[in-house]
Structure 1
């Protein structure tokens, strides 16, 4: 049980592109252990508190918002969703939606949704490869066409769509209006000079390996890595695993390990 595991993602085709759930014990999309039919959740016999994805947007996603834990547990019977996005690829002059403009209220957003001019009430931020965007619960957001990113989030599949650009999918306007952070108190947005983001739910770090990187998992936690770029190997006392672009590994508690090679990694843990 103390082996480092390479994971096989749960793949989901979307109208706007695709998602790969690269670290998931969530019932809506289990990832598997590479070269095995066994799900990660069955092997480790626990539910992880985070869910990591690779998202590729060929078209813009819905304008959406996620509830916090209290609201979601009351109405959806699962966790809320705070998340963050590490941008892997971005089209030239790419931007995404993160937050609403100052001065908006529940009433102004409701009217904007009804009239179809919600876009002019939304904040857009320019993004490029290597940027980190923090999306706490209550933050109105949308990933736009031409972006590929790694998402680290609470292990939840609760999303309220506010507006879907004319696509014929269910929207959740009343619940959205109840959970929006109208005053921006949760402080979402781009993290300048990102190397580490600590949230109440998870920590995410960017690790640049030039030769050897050493670390260890404490007795109460786990580590997960997704390869941003480059290649290398990870080694513990029990095994050695190749690491290639966009692959994800899970490291259980109590394991000491070394990473060899030249590669960039996104590390996540709680």
Structure 2
């Protein structure tokens, strides 16, 4: 068992008013809080909190085969779990209609892609799986947890005029130029359900609501990312609370001192 360390990442669309569970950031515009392992350890998954004051770039990620063709270890699929949002907040997922690659590149170039992305209103407890190749963005006023394949590869398609590099040709080549076909997954805090199975994604994700003592026994080759969204307790004597993320291995005894909703992620 290992408590993963927090790494604060500044973003132009981030916020200065993070929840109190995170350390003071002295006015820095923090967009992401990553939970990382020891230096040099290539873990298959990465858990993040994301905080938005503006829209993220419209972007896309390659799949495993496309990423490995570029010399990378893996592509990037991800899941978003909405913790909090302002009224009217939305996620952009997929396109409102099928497009040709030529029309898609033209829309990204002239900015009309912003109106062609399918903007979906969200509320706390909503979850969306974003397979590699899905054109996507996160709107303003949202706090979410993202569980993703641990790959730092993002192709920005449109960035609202911010002075950052775009990757239009690479992005268009891997984009699924069609509407998003998956249904909304609803998993409010305090409920239990499997959010995604490993037949659909490179990892499983479950929301559990625990109280009292639990035990987890993982084979030597397995790891589990333990992300409490509420509550508090200990794992093998190590204290945890909302805002932490632990990497579980082997046999773990989990004592829940305050009833807790926890995301459990396990790679294939």
TM more than 0.5: yes
Maintained 8 Å contact 1:76/1:158: no
Long gaps (5+) in structure 1? 25-30, 32-39
Residues 1:256 and 2:225 aligned together: no
Maintained 8 Å contact 2:64/2:76: yes
Structure 2 match to 1:228: 229
TM-score (norm 2): 0.84
Deviation at 1:130, TM superposition (A): 1.1
Alpha-carbon displacement from aligned partner over 1:69-105 (angstroms, at most 9, x marks no partner):
1111112533110111111111112111011122222
Deviation at 1:179, TM superposition (A): 0.5
Residues 1:11 and 2:5 aligned together: no
Match of 2:104, SS state, is helix
The within-5 A match list for 1:140-219 is 140-183=135-178, 187-188=181-182, 190-193=184-187, 195-196=193-194, 197-198=196-197, 199-219=200-220
Task: Return the match for 1:94 from 89, 97, 100.
Answer: 89
Deviation at 1:119, TM superposition (A): 1.4
Long gaps (5+) in structure 2? 15-30
Maintained 8 Å contact 2:187/2:207: no
Residue-pair matches, total: 243
Q: Distance in 2 between matches of 1:103 and 1:202?
A: 28
Match of 2:97, SS state, is coil
Maintained 8 Å contact 2:125/2:186: no
Match of 2:234, SS state, is strand
Maintained 8 Å contact 2:230/2:260: yes
Deviation at 1:192, TM superposition (A): 4.0
TM-score (norm 1): 0.84
Maintained 8 Å contact 2:209/2:260: yes
CA RMSD of aligned residues (A): 1.9
